[in-house]
Amino acid sequence: MKISVGFSEDDLRRLSGHRSFVRGQGYRDAVSCLEVEDGWFSARVQGTEDYAVEIAVDGAGALSGACDCPYGQEGNFCKHCVAVGLAVLTRASDVPLQRSAAASRAKGLAQWLDSLPREELLALVREQVERDRELRRRLELRAATARGDDPVVRERVRALLDPAPFASYGYVEFADAHAYGQQASEAVTALRTLIADGRAALAVTLSREAMAALHRAYEDIDDESGSVGSVAQELAEAHLEACRAARPDPLETAEWLVRHLLGSEYDVFDADPVDYREVLGTDGLARLRQLATEAWRRKPSGWAEKHLMERLVKAAGTVDELIAVYAADLSPTGDTHLAIARELDAAGRPDEALEWAERGLRELAETHRGGSGLEDYLCERHAEEGRPARATAVRRDGFRVRRSLAAYRLLRECARAEGTWERERPAALELLREDAARSGPSWYGGPVLIDALIDDGDLGAAWRTAAEGHAASHQWLTLADLVREDRPADALPVYLSLIDPLKKITGDANYQRIARLLLGARECHRNLGTSQEFADYVAALRAEQKRKRNLMKVLDQHGL
């Protein structure tokens, strides 16, 4: 009888990805201290360091994992999680008994604690408080909150947000950011306890102080995993909850909110001013709008100022007011022109929308031509309204400015829809031909002309252009792959020439490239009826590269 632990190897592979799954297989024997509970498994995995891992299966069968390695702290199901999962699957037959034993232990512990006299239980708690500083900090804060000792609550909240215990040389590194985030989250718990205990006014003040303290600390934290940023958002949410409960002065709250949203804290704390409507009331909202407008007029190009104004106007203003905000600082990328056009469309003013889009196209910086959102919008409008020639003209102008493969494809798509591609194509290719002649030989990107000819399926012209000496290696490889069935004698020298420079390079990724080229060469030899010649070539290559053991393994894996 097959025993289920709630997940399979396929679940591990799907959640981790192929790379982490394969690497996790190599760590299966590094798993130790495996513990089984109802719905979760924990263990230690010896990697670069000794990592703590926990994987869990919820009631709906969803698998999740957590590991304190750097990759795991980013929220990924890492190779160590895979290793623990594989270890559990290997020992699946033991899992029911271990779960039963864990349940029995938990029940026994609960019964024992219930049976202890009050003094013994208090002694046990005091013993743990002495040993566990983190537990002591949490209990001190809860005790101060319960007895209404505001100075101690404020001091403990500040202490929880102090990064000094986690900082090396004044900086909290990536590996320590998660632990700091866990400690800081206790401040959020304390604030919500205050709110629940009817002391929301104090929670308003402390949450603002906490956000300011966390912002100062955040500048010196490597928060790539986002764990500290999550605490910042929880603090902001706690502040809003406290305001809803305490109903502080609406004018003062509006002034604080503008300072908060326009200050440097905005890099860490995001908030929607509209969420504060019921807290601010009519007077507070008017003050908020007044202060936001004044700040925006002083600095119309400021990102935070624009964002705040846009949000307020979208919530309670007119489309013309919103357009005024956008128009005060038009972007050379065309994004603001496009935003205006879409707002006008939504307001049922399509003619004005088209005018703004066409103005944006005229003002669009050259670096953003050949596939911008503004061009996409105009082409869609022209096509929908029966103006295919104008749509093609937009793509043609974009391609002439930015002669990329993407711009070529867009022009082709539009011209085909109009039925004029056969007329457009020669001129477009001539422009790319001029670019190729100017750029000369390339071993990196290669001329767009070759990519365009390949994309058109014009392999003969693409091969001739490549033979003129301008193609990059990746373009030659693409061509060889495409013609090897019909022209193996032409494709074979390409594969062999691409292998030669790789012989001097080490590394598994390079070895995989060699194997991939050899497979292409083998296919050519098969089509030519010269398989023995290929076998001799591989034998010579193996003899020449025999000291590269990983290369030999890769060749073996591919049957070469």
- Bridge partners of 64, per DSSP, are 56
Token reading at 49? 């360091």
pLDDT confidence of residue 443: 46
Q: What is the mean pLDDT of residues 179-200?
A: 88
Q: What are 34-77's pLDDT values in tens digits? A: 888 877 888 899 877 888 899 888 766 778 888 888 888 777 88
Q: Among 115, 134, 153, give the residue marking a domain's end.
A: 115
**Do the beta carbons of residue 498 and residue 517 sit within 8 Å?**
yes
Structure tokens at 13: 């592979």
d(CA 384, CA 559) in angstroms, rounded, equals 54
Task: Check if the beta carbon of residue 542 is closer than 8 Å to that of residue 501.
Answer: no
List beta partners, residue 32: 44
Taking residue 297's Cβ as centre, other Cβ atoms within 10 Å add up to 11
Domain of residue 77, residue span: 9-115
DSSP string, 413-460: HHHHHHT-HHHHHHHHHHHHHHHHHHH---SSS--HHHHHHHHHT-HH
Q: In what order do the strands lie in the sheet with 63-67?
A: 31-37, 40-46, 50-57, 63-67
Q: Is residue 367 part of a domain?
A: no
pLDDT reported for residue 250: 95
Contacts of 410 (CB under 8 A, 6+ apart): 370, 371, 375, 379, 395, 398, 399
Domain assignment present for residue 446? The answer is no
How far is the C-alpha of 345 from the C-alpha of 355, rounded, in Å? 11
For the chain, the domain total comes to 2
Rounded Cα gap, residues 28 and 176, in angstroms: 26
Q: Please tell me the predicted confidence (pLDDT) of residue 268.
A: 67
Mean pLDDT of 526-548: 91
pLDDT tens-digit map of 335-393: 999 999 999 999 999 999 999 999 998 888 877 777 788 999 999 999 999 999 999 99
- In this prediction the pTM is 0.63
Helices (H), 334-404: 335-346, 350-363, 373-384, 388-401
CA-based nearest residue to 29, from 95, 84, 94: 84
Tell whether the torsion through CA atoms of 343, 346, 347 and 353 is positive or negative. positive
In a domain, 530, yes or no: yes
Q: By the 8 A CB rule, do 72 and 20 touch?
A: no
pLDDT digits (tens, 9 = 90+) for 245-294: 999 999 999 999 999 888 755 466 677 888 999 999 999 999 999 999 99
Query: How far are the Cα atoms of 35, 344, 350, 379 from residue 361, in angstroms, in the given order?
Result: 63, 17, 16, 11
For residue 210, is it within any domain? no
Q: Convert the pLDDT of each residue in 425-471 to its tens digit.
A: 999 999 999 988 887 555 457 899 999 999 999 999 999 999 887 78
pLDDT at 238: 93
Domain boundary among 62, 86, 115: 115
Strand 50-57 versus strand 31-37 pairing type: unpaired
Decide which of 115, 131, 153 is a domain's last residue: 115
Q: What is the pLDDT of residues 384-394, one digit of tens each?
A: 999 999 999 99
Q: What is the pLDDT of residue 342?
A: 94
Tens digit of pLDDT for each residue in 136-186? 777 777 777 777 778 888 888 888 888 888 887 788 887 788 788 888 888
Tell me: pLDDT of 508 over 90. Answer: no
pLDDT above 60: residue 1: no
pLDDT of residue 519: 93
SS3 for 248? coil
Q: Mean pLDDT over residues 550-559, rounded? A: 89
Q: Tell me, what's the pLDDT at 102?
A: 77
**Mean pLDDT of all residues in the chain?**
87
Of residues 113 and 444, more confidently modeled:
113
| Residue 477 to residue 78: CA distance in whole angstroms | 34
474-489 confidence digits (pLDDT tens): 999 999 999 999 999 9
The reported pLDDT for the residue numbered 444 is 59
Tokens of 516: 């991939």
Q: Domain for residue 94, yes or no?
A: yes
Burial class of residue 69, CB neighbours in 10 A (0-12, 13-18, 19+): buried
What does the pLDDT look like over 300-327, one tens digit per residue? 888 888 888 989 998 888 899 999 999 9
Closest CA to 216 of 290, 178, 269, 168: 269
Residue 310 within a domain: no
80-89 pLDDT, tens digit per residue, is: 999 999 988 8
Mean pLDDT of 93-104: 80
